[in-house]
């Protein structure tokens, strides 16, 4: 059986060489250290003892870093469980706003500021269209927005996925105004407004930004380009929305299962070729280039990659969701959020009891003594 390769293996083998030959910022160094230490003695843990045969094993703590391939499944499942309580009995739209690659270098030099502007431009664009009588809505939308910064081959590709209920809450809060079933807004019209707002934000912040050489020329090219807003086929109902959420919200740049080999300074991983009908292909990169690309997608400290706006904003969504459900008047099963243990989550997702003793197959592992974090110094 082929061994399961991990991003941690690449950092262990080539991380020191990369740090010695490439500039890294504190956020990137922290991510490398966290992924390397995840579920090892470096983070400590606890001993487990089988209540039937008495065999012992060590269970080490996870790093819980949002860029770690090992730590996103559990975080995603808990987040999804919370979102189930907020679904509306209506259709949903999925719209993707993408920055042209000509702006990539400027964004990379100003991640926090210009990725924040990306969220703001998307929000302002959708709010403006929702209030415009030409689109026959005139109300407040609800937006769930998720930032992705990568392509399948790990190059920088900045875009925001938006999940939007098919309607708006009237400005007086008394009516639910249903949108067209087939489309929300025109994609080309959205793209023009999005471009105008985003580039205006860059222009207004030039004194605050780090502007690499050639910025003026890149901005001119960005104005001349046709920007892309992609409106996917609308979801039929809440069940499809949850399937979408699980695929997009807690995805990271590269999952461990995509890594096929690590050998002689090369990393081979799989990717979907969008230009070839999403066929699965393999790409071989020098280890230094692989690490560089992976670290491109480390977000600034405390930068929120999932944001909510309109009637789904955190300050009002609990009341707004209840109100809109009453206004729509369609019965739906309302899920209660139930916090699960890791064992319960894994049993539900995989059908496997992770505490079942692998030695005897009868007993269960019981938490024993605490294992302190290992300090090599």
The CB density around residue 158, as the number of other CB atoms within 10 Å, is: 22
Point out the least confidently predicted range of 82-96, 145-159, 290-304: 82-96
Residue 359 placed within a domain: no
Residue 30 placed within a domain: no
- Domain extent, residue 310, equals 73-253+296-328
For residue range 122-172, list pLDDT tens digits in order: 999 999 999 999 998 999 999 999 999 999 999 999 999 999 999 999 999
Residue 41 placed within a domain: no
Residue 54 has pLDDT above 80, yes or no: yes
Residue 366 placed within a domain: no
Which pLDDT does position 241 carry in this prediction? Answer: 77
Cα–Cα distances in Å, from 247 out to 17, 241, 266, 272?
34, 10, 28, 15
Mean pLDDT across the chain, nearest whole number?
90
Residue 243 has pLDDT above 80, yes or no: no
To which H or E segment does residue 373 belong?
A: none
Total residues found in the chain within this entry: 377
Residue 64 placed within a domain: no
Mean pLDDT calculated for residue range 77-91: 83
Distance CA 184, CA 259 (A): 39
Mean pLDDT calculated for residue range 196-205: 97
Residue 93 has pLDDT above 70, yes or no: yes
Residue 373 placed within a domain: no
* Burial class of residue 270 (count of CB atoms within 10 Å of its CB; 0-12, 13-18, 19+): middle
- 27 Cβ contact partners less than 8 Å away, ≥ 6 residues apart: 298, 299, 300, 301
Which pLDDT does position 377 carry in this prediction? Answer: 46
Which pLDDT does position 79 carry in this prediction? Answer: 80
Which pLDDT does position 7 carry in this prediction? Answer: 97
The CB density around residue 200, as the number of other CB atoms within 10 Å, is: 13
Work out the pLDDT band at 109, boundaries 50, 70, 90. very high
User: Which CATH number goes with the domain that contains 112?
Assistant: 3.40.1310
Partners of residue 371 on adjacent β-strands: 45
Residue 376 has pLDDT above 70, yes or no: no
Residue 282 placed within a domain: no
Distance CA 187, CA 97 (A): 10
Residue 1 has pLDDT above 60, yes or no: no
Residue 343 has pLDDT above 70, yes or no: no
Identify whether the C-beta of residue 93 lies closer than 8 Å to the C-beta of residue 164: yes
Which pLDDT does position 250 carry in this prediction? Answer: 75
Identify whether the C-beta of residue 295 lies closer than 8 Å to the C-beta of residue 28: yes
Q: How many domains are there within the chain?
A: 1
- The residue that leads in pLDDT, 337 or 136, is 136
Which pLDDT does position 333 carry in this prediction? Answer: 63
Residue 337 has pLDDT above 60, yes or no: no
Residue 5 placed within a domain: no
Point out the least confidently predicted range of 3-12, 41-50, 257-266, 329-338: 329-338
């Amino acid at each position: 059986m082929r061994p399961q390769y991990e991003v941690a293996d690449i950092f262990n083998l080539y991380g020191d060489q990369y740090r010695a030959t490439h500039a890294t910022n504190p956020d990137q160094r922290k991510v490398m250290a966290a992924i390397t230490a995840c579920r090892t003695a470096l983070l400590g843990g606890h001993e487990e003892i089988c209540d039937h045969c008495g065999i012992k094993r060590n269970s080490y703590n996870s790093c819980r870093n949002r860029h770690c391939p090992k730590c996103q499944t559990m975080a995603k499942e808990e987040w999804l469980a919370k979102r189930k309580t907020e679904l509306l009995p209506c259709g949903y739209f999925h719209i993707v706003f993408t920055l042209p690659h000509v702006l990539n270098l400027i964004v990379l030099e100003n991640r926090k500021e210009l990725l924040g502007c990306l969220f703001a431009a998307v929000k302002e664009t959708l709010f403006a269209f929702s209030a415009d009588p030409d689109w026959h809505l005139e109300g407040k939308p609800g937006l769930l927005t998720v930032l992705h910064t990568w392509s399948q081959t790990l190059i920088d590709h900045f875009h925001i996925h938006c999940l939007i209920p098919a309607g708006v809450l009237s400005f007086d809060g008394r009516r639910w105004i249903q949108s067209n079933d087939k489309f929300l807004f025109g994609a080309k019209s959205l793209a023009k407004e999005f471009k105008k707002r985003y580039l205006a934000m860059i222009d207004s912040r030039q004194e605050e930004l780090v502007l690499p050489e050639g910025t003026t020329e890149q901005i001119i090219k960005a104005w001349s380009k046709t920007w892309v807003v992609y409106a996917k086929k609308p979801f039929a109902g809440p069940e499809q929305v949850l399937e979408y959420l699980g695929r997009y919200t807690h995805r990271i740049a590269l999952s461990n299962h995509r890594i096929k080999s690590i050998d002689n300074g090369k990393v081979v991983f799989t990717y979907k070729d969008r230009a070839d009908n999403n066929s699965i292909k393999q790409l071989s990169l020098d280890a230094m280039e692989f690490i560089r690309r992976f670290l491109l997608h480390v977000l600034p400290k405390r930068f929120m990659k999932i944001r909510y706006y309109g009637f789904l904003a955190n300050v009002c969504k609990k009341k707004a969701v209840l109100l809109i459900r009453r206004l729509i008047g369609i019965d739906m099963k309302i899920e209660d959020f139930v916090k699960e243990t890791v064992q319960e989550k894994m049993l539900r997702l995989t059908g496997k009891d992770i505490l079942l003793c692998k030695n005897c197959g009868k007993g269960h592992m019981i938490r024993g003594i605490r294992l302190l974090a290992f300090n090599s110094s």
